[in-house]
Chain A
Amino acid sequence: MTHVGYLVAGWSISLISFFIYAWRIVRKGKKLSSQVPKDRQRWMTSSTD
């Protein structure tokens, strides 16, 4: 396989950035949802939950 360094760099940066951002958002959501009253969390969960 050619250009291994470029491939690893490109894919790693993309995947690591996605996971870090996703983790931050979920963590922030968890923190905020404990501060907002349930009746004001209108868009929090789907109706089936």
Chain B
Amino acid sequence: MQSTEKQEFTTSRGTRFMGISLLIGIPTLLIFAFLLSPADDNMDDAVRLIYVHVPMAIFAYVAIITTGIGSVFFLWKKSRWWDTVAHASAEIGLILCGLVLITGSIWGRPTWNTWWEWGDVRLVTTLVLFLMILGYLALRQVPANPEMRAKRASVVGIIAAVNIPIINRSVEWWENNTLHQKSSLTDGKLENLTLFTLFLGFIVVGISYLWLMTHRFRVGWMTTEIETAGIAELIEERLNEGNSTVVNSQPQQKDGTK
């Protein structure tokens, strides 16, 4: 009885472990972000938004790169597994990318005195990435043969992934056309507790991504199972219809020859 109940969820031992880690990790991150870490000399307390904004940005990259890799492997191996990975990761990537744009905008208002700056290359390329992933997911909703649909989406998935290095390096490539600063992580300017809170943010958002990814993959897998079963049922129905037409037509022919 207990095992039957377990089977009715997309939960497993791994996702339960990740879920419990998140229940501990999220409040811990909030305590460090709001109470223990210091305010920044330049940004004041607005720096506390960075602990969620930057990790989400990095895992949005991870999600879209995963979609790109999944798309390449789908086109190469024609593997349903990779297509499901690409689709699941794109959906999570869209949410992360959307949240990055929103939290970035909220952070930009007190720090740069603007909600949005069209001249900033990183902002615009991130918006382009968001729209590309939206396009990828919209393509997956277009009624078509499942394989053709996956093929079309894979092409968009690969193009979206190519955008990631452009977004990442835009601060260096177009340094006169951006409000963003260069990476603070690599230049060692962050204080100890600020750095620790940021890493805690990476761990929490990373586990969140893996947890969502596992559940979303299993949902995607089952959706395809249902879709495939539906198509198989339809084919069988048509074949039966065809057979019954042939069977029905045979006596008529016999009658005609009599």
Contacts and interface: CB of A to CB of B under 8 A. Distances in A.
B119 interface: no
Given A33-B7, A34-B8, A10 B45 contact: no
Interface string B143-161: 0000000000000000000
B140 interface: no
B10 A36 contact: no
Given A2-B44, A45-B7, A46-B14, A14 B222 contact: no
Chain B contact patch, size range = 35 or more
A1 B7 CA distance: 48
How would you classify the secondary structure of chain B's contact residues: helix, strand, loop or mixed? Answer: helix
B90 to A, nearest CB: 13
A36 B225 contact: yes
B106 to A, nearest CB: 4
A3 B110 contact: yes
A23 B222 CA distance: 17
Contacts of B221: 41-44
Contact of A32 (B99, B212, B219): B219
Contacts of B6: 45, 49
B8 A30 contact: yes
Given A6-B106, A29-B222, A49 B49 contact: no
B122 interface: no
B196 to A, nearest CB: 18
B45 A7 contact: yes
A29 B218 contact: yes
Contact of B215 (A2, A9, A17, A26): A26
A36 B13 contact: no
Contact of A3 (B46, B52, B218, B222): B46
A28 B216 CA distance: 9
B5 to A, nearest CB: 10
Contacts of A40: 222, 225, 229
B110 A26 contact: no
B163 interface: no
B10 A26 contact: yes
Nearest first, the 9 closest Cβ-Cβ pairs linking A and B are A29-B10, A32-B222, A46-B12, A10-B106, A2-B44, A10-B103, A2-B45, A45-B12, A10-B49
Given A7-B45, A30-B9, A41-B225, 12 more contacts: A3-B46, A4-B45, A6-B110, A14-B52, A17-B98, A26-B9, A26-B11, A36-B225, A43-B217, A44-B221, A45-B6, A49-B6
8 contacts: A4-B45, A6-B110, A11-B48, A17-B98, A18-B95, A25-B212, A29-B222, A33-B9
